[in-house]
Amino acid sequence: MLIIRIVSNILKLVSNIEDIYSRHINKRNSKILEVSTGFGINTYTLLKITDDLGGSLVSIDIDSRRVEKAKKIFKSYIEKGVLKLELADARSLHYSDNSFDYVVSHTTLHHINDVERSLGEMARVLKPLGRIIIVDLKPITPLILIPGHSPGHIVRTREITIKYIKSNLVAIEEGIRGILYYMVASKQ
């Protein structure tokens, strides 16, 4: 957990999005879906907010190793009933329609080969008037040197995301933070 805290604090210096979460995730006893757990850095940030609001967080990942690692790191939150970690694919979520007050995706969409389908699934499980928060890479970041992070790929992911949100949801806020762009939208 110490490493997660350290990395989380470093990321705040580069692209602090915690205030965006705090502005938009504010309903007591809310149910939040995180797509995807990854290394657990964003999970940690969401857990602090979720715990303060008396809510619950379901964090999913398609990689069983990430889920198992996160279960060890966040054992105390799981035992408190604040966190549930599950193996799941964002392109085919196994939750009922209108299940979550908030859906958050942080630096995930550019890893998914069917962004529009994943966004559709996220919107499907979001409750009416619920909010979806999408955070992903800007096209020009040092990370573009990593395979799968080419500027063209990042640009296409961003274009698909913006088009989907503006066509299917109500955009509330969007902007840029350091190496990231973000969009917040509501389901009507």
Tens digit of each residue's pLDDT (9 = 90 or more) over 51-97: 999 999 999 999 999 999 999 999 999 999 999 999 999 999 999 99
DSSP labels, 39-105? TSHHHHHHHHHHHHHT-EEEEEES-HHHHHHHHHHTHHHHHHTSEEEEE--TTS--SPTT-EEEEEE
Domain 2-186 CATH class label: alpha beta
Q: Calculate helix-pair angle for 115-125, 151-168, nearest 10 degrees.
A: 40
Q: Structural domain boundaries of the chain?
A: 2-186
The pTM of this model reads 0.91
> What's the confidence (pLDDT) of residue 13?
45
Tens digit of each residue's pLDDT (9 = 90 or more) over 156-182: 999 999 999 999 999 999 999 888 899
Indicate the pLDDT class of residue 144, thresholds 50, 70 and 90.
Answer: low
Rounded to whole angstroms, how far apart are CA atoms 57 and 152? 33
Indicate the pLDDT class of residue 14, thresholds 50, 70 and 90.
Answer: very low
